[in-house]
Structure 1
Amino acid sequence: MADDEKILIAQFLRANDYAETLKSFLSEAGLPPDAGTTSKDGLTLEKLLQEKRAFDISADFEKLATNDTKGWRQPAPAVPTAVSLPTSSNILNAAVIARIHADGSRNDVLWSSAADRSVNISDPATLETLDTSRNNEAPVLSVAQSSRYLLHGDMAGNIVLSETQSRAVLDKRKDHRKYVVRVATYETSDGAWVATAGWDATVFVYWLRQDHASPSLGSPVGRISLLSNPEAVLFVLSAENTRPVLLVSRRDSTFIHYYRLPDIGNSPGAVCDLELLGRQNLAPHALSWVSFTPADMALCPADPSLIAVATSSMPHMKVLIVRLLFPTKDAATAVQSWASGESSLAVSSVGENTESSTMDVTSRARAELARQNREEAAILISCNAMAPQTQYSTPVVVWRPDGSGVWVSGDDGVIRGIDSASGKIVTKLESHESGSKIRCLWAGMVSGQQAGGGNEWLVSGGFDQRLIVWKQVE
């Protein structure tokens, strides 16, 4: 035993009045009679135990890869360029969209919306304004593209379908009663699925046919009524299915919910409640009832079975990289059994066959533990992004186009880059005002003159009223 350790033990015995034990210990350890009267740098056994507990909590909070291989690829966007906008207002959303012309050609433009209800179109080459619109009914919160069509949802509950080239409005619906916070699309050979999430605790699904002369959204073909407001929606396709499923996360729930899309051929024009196929817990062994909400989800561009999740955890954002556990064919039956499991278990326990009831409880407990273990193993990365958050934050996560990492927002004006292989923060981008909220992020390739199909960009907008394009170091 080292001398420092002996001194700590002697100090502990002296502080707690173990006089006889202290005397014997000093004699056997060969220490002077006054050993343990002081502690170097104030170090005590209690402090060591406190530090050990803090380390254990931190280790449980983070789940990092054990290999040293870094997925983060260089060069990464790091050079900021501020976009000059015709209005000054908080930036709500931004994205690079492709304008598709009648001859099939396309060119990218930078699209952004602000709190003053304006929508601005900028030239990616010069970042100068090409077009500005201020006649929107309400500020635009979310946007998604499907082929040559653009869909956006606003704070009035509207969903607007327009052309990317002419910006002509083709359809406008108001099925939501409150904010439309998310719009997601999934293209197929004969049309596109569209999902919208509103703060009326409802998700609507539309079928957009793209072969019509005058396309329109029409009435919703599917609906999900939730117990709380939805946070994120995402279409995903498993290797076994030909039709995508819809992922939904909602407030005050740690689950990702899987929903089956409707068969529009059997009941055209009818609005049906989507069938819940299954759900996946992102905190399977959590002791608290709700530890966080999956506030944003992004599909990995390099692996369609992998998603990144930005959570609502406080005081800092927790980022997860999760393998999707797609429901099996019997998952819907299992979900229904789970929903009625409590009542059926209660009935069986009242019966005369006590041994059978006990076996039923045991089998259910084993099945639940096995499910929790599978869900835990599906969480590949769980890390603290150190991005400050409050209950009013809007977490955002986006993938780099090669899947080597993710970018996450923060309420301190800092954008953090996280390595998808190790879960470590590898870079911080600081050009927004310190302490300002980053409201939106977009990451992807932008077409340019260079070989290789374009340049990697990161676009950020915040409550400092700044829209910034981050480019790679040349």
Structure 2
Amino acid sequence: MPSRDNIHVIVARYLRDNAYDATLEAFKGELGIEDDMIPSDHSMTLESIIEQKRLYDLAMGIQEMEIKPEPKDAWAIPAPNFKSLLPEQMANILFVKVANLSMPTSIDDPAAGNSVRPCILVTEADRSLRIFDFYTFDLLKVYLHIHSSPILMLEVLDESNIMTGGMDGRLVISTPSTGEVTVELKDHFKYLVKIAISKDHKYVATAGYDKKVHVYSLEKPESGPIVLSKIGTLTFPTNPEAAIFVYADGEDGATTTKLVVSRRDSTFLYYYKLQPNLVEFARHNLNPESNSWVSFCAMDLVLDPTEHKYLGAVTSTVPHMRFMLLESGNDTILKNAFTRAPQDAYSTSRVTWRPQGSGIWCNGDDGLIRGIEVSTGAVTAELRHHEGKVKALYSGMVDGKEVVVTGGFDKTIAVWEIDQR
């Protein structure tokens, strides 16, 4: 059967959907196309292709017209580009993160004390969580018991507590040095695909493919396990894809925390107040021209690391991902950039900020990691290693140095640094 992006299939679907029946029959006869070869999937249509081309031309024109950015706004140099590979044989990589953890000082001595040091956390399709020393790449721990299925999301609360979400729908808090599970919730009955934690660690939100988002308050007592208390639940007509906490300063000078959610088949971002009740108070359209044939959603959302007021979003658009920059709480799109990252309707789009805020990194189905300068929207750097889809992506600082860590379905982990090891 022809692929859904086959040009003949796209034309046939256009003829069928617009009731050009006689032309359609002649077209099918000329090419030998059967009715069951024309899918109902509308993620790629003639209209959407034309719209993508129009937006691409517009973006290129804007880039050519833009004044050269100030040095502080330009893509920061140097950027990570020296590659090292973790030596361990692995399964498909689902998630990576770097964080300071309290881990045993000796791999071989169970009674050894702990020390806090940077570690690479990796989750894989075999449901394992692996923890590596960042500098030596030594495998410190392997856990298979934390979830009964692969772990899709991982966040670090502090050096002794990590939070994971899995395909089993469970939200788990565990101790990285021992693997002890201290908190376990089963509020989702399908995949838990997103965990968001507020910067003050007072709120947690989880998004699942049961079309629900749960929001909790988080308390960390002086003794005993962390306590999660549910504030409320949001139910959507389609699966949520991204969730993030954003912040606004009130007239009294106090900072309020709000939740932003995106969902499949919707170009809107949905804003929610947390107190006194979990309630929607605004929605902002990422497709302000409201072209009904252009259907996409924000697949990943990240808040800028310096001012915490700009939202970066990557979209589900096919055949190429788009990056959008907007001011949190405002529906004005500041940048609408074509990343050139190929993807399809089943891709997992990921984006992460560079620590100084000069750019973002995004993944792609061709194995490339692309760096985009935020001030211009131009693709400025490419990290080449992986074969095939890259699903895991991290960017941050380790001991004052910028690093990027990537993992793909080629079963490898690459660590990108500014200096050669």
The superposition leaves residues 52-99 of structure 1 with CA deviations (integer Å, 9 ceiling, x where unpaired) of: x998553235654812126101110101111122x4310000001221
Q: Which residue in 2 is equivalent to 1:35?
A: none
Deviation at 1:239, TM superposition (A): 2.2
For 2:76, which of 67, 73, 76 is the aligned residue?
73
Aligned length: 353
Q: Which residue in 2 is equivalent to 1:393?
A: 347
Q: Which residue in 1 is equivalent to 2:410?
A: 464
Q: Which residue in 1 is equivalent to 2:156?
A: 145
Deviation at 1:216, TM superposition (A): 3.5
Q: Is the 8 A contact 2:156 2:163 kept in 1?
A: yes
Q: Which residue in 2 is equivalent to 1:309?
A: 313
Distance 1:195 1:104 in 2: 30
For 1:325, which of 318, 329, 344 is the aligned residue?
329
Distance 1:80 1:246 in 2: 36
Identity %: 35
Distance 1:416 1:206 in 2: 34
Q: Which residue in 1 is equivalent to 2:175?
A: 163
2:81 maps to amino acid: A
For 1:59, which of 48, 57, 66 is the aligned residue?
57
- The TM-score, its normalising length taken from structure 2, stands at 0.79
For 2:97, which of 67, 90, 95 is the aligned residue?
95
Q: Which residue in 2 is equivalent to 1:213?
A: 223
Distance 2:151 2:238 in 1: 22
Q: Which consecutive residues of structure 1, in runs of 5 or more, have no partner in the other structure?
A: 1-52, 264-271, 327-374, 448-453
1:458 maps to amino acid: V
Distance 2:138 2:81 in 1: 21
Q: Which moved more, 1:289-298 or 1:420-429?
A: 289-298
Alignment of 1:231-380 (within 5 A): 231-240=241-250, 241-263=254-276, 274-288=278-292, 290-325=294-329, 375=331, 378-380=332-334
Distance 2:238 2:222 in 1: 36
1:246 maps to amino acid: L
Q: Which consecutive residues of structure 2, in runs of 5 or more, have no partner in the other structure?
A: 1-50, 104-112
Structure 2 residue 340 is matched with structure 1 residue 381: no
Runs of 4 or more consecutive aligned structure 1 residues displaced over 6 Å after TM superposition:
none
2:265 maps to amino acid: D
RMSD: 2.4
Deviation at 1:106, TM superposition (A): 3.5
Deviation at 1:286, TM superposition (A): 3.3
Distance 1:208 1:57, change over 3 A: closer
Deviation at 1:212, TM superposition (A): 4.2
Distance 1:283 1:71 in 2: 27
1:303 maps to amino acid: E
1:90 maps to amino acid: N
For 1:439, which of 377, 381, 391 is the aligned residue?
391
Q: Is the 8 A contact 1:145 1:185 kept in 2?
A: no
The superposition leaves residues 308-331 of structure 1 with CA deviations (integer Å, 9 ceiling, x where unpaired) of: 1110000001111111225xxxxx
Q: Which residue in 1 is equivalent to 2:7?
A: none
For 2:381, which of 427, 437, 447 is the aligned residue?
427
Deviation at 1:202, TM superposition (A): 0.3
Distance 1:178 1:237 in 2: 29
Distance 2:265 2:360 in 1: 24
Distance 1:54 1:230 in 2: 24
Alignment of 1:398-417 (within 5 A): 398-417=352-371
For 1:230, which of 218, 223, 240 is the aligned residue?
240
The superposition leaves residues 378-398 of structure 1 with CA deviations (integer Å, 9 ceiling, x where unpaired) of: 211111100001000000000
Deviation at 1:154, TM superposition (A): 0.3
Q: Is the 8 A contact 2:169 2:190 kept in 1?
A: yes
Distance 1:226 1:393, change over 3 A: same
Structure 2 residue 87 is matched with structure 1 residue 84: yes
Distance 1:281 1:118, change over 3 A: same
Q: Is the 8 A contact 1:415 1:428 kept in 2?
A: yes
Q: Is the 8 A contact 1:320 1:383 kept in 2?
A: yes
> What SS does structure 2 have at the residue aligned with 1:292?
coil
Structure 2 residue 179 is matched with structure 1 residue 181: no
The superposition leaves residues 214-242 of structure 1 with CA deviations (integer Å, 9 ceiling, x where unpaired) of: 12344522111111100001011112252
Q: Is the 8 A contact 2:218 2:229 kept in 1?
A: no
Structure number with the higher strand fraction is 2
Distance 1:162 1:388, change over 3 A: same
> What SS does structure 1 have at the residue aligned with 2:306?
coil
2:356 maps to amino acid: D
Q: Which residue in 2 is equivalent to 1:19?
A: none
1:72 maps to amino acid: W
Q: Is the 8 A contact 2:198 2:204 kept in 1?
A: yes
Deviation at 1:471, TM superposition (A): 0.7
Distance 2:117 2:177 in 1: 9
Distance 1:276 1:309, change over 3 A: same
> What SS does structure 2 have at the residue aligned with 1:238?
strand
Q: Is the 8 A contact 1:161 1:217 kept in 2?
A: no
- The TM-score, its normalising length taken from structure 1, stands at 0.70
